[in-house]
Amino acid sequence: MSWADPKQTPSESDLKEPKCILESGEEDLMCIPVPDAVCTVAPKIDKLFEGVLAARARARNLLAHAKRSVEIAIEDSEAAALKHLEEI
Contact 55, 61 (CB under 8 A): no
At 39-81, the pLDDT tens digits run 888 899 999 999 999 999 999 999 999 999 999 999 999 999 9
Tens-place pLDDT, residues 9-42 = 666 666 666 555 556 677 777 777 878 777 888 8
Torsion over CA: 34, 39, 44, 49 (sign): positive
Helical segments of 1-88, H only: 12-16, 18-22, 26-30, 36-75, 78-86
Q: What is the pTM of this model?
A: 0.54
The pLDDT assigned to 84 comes to: 93
Largest CA distance in the chain: 75
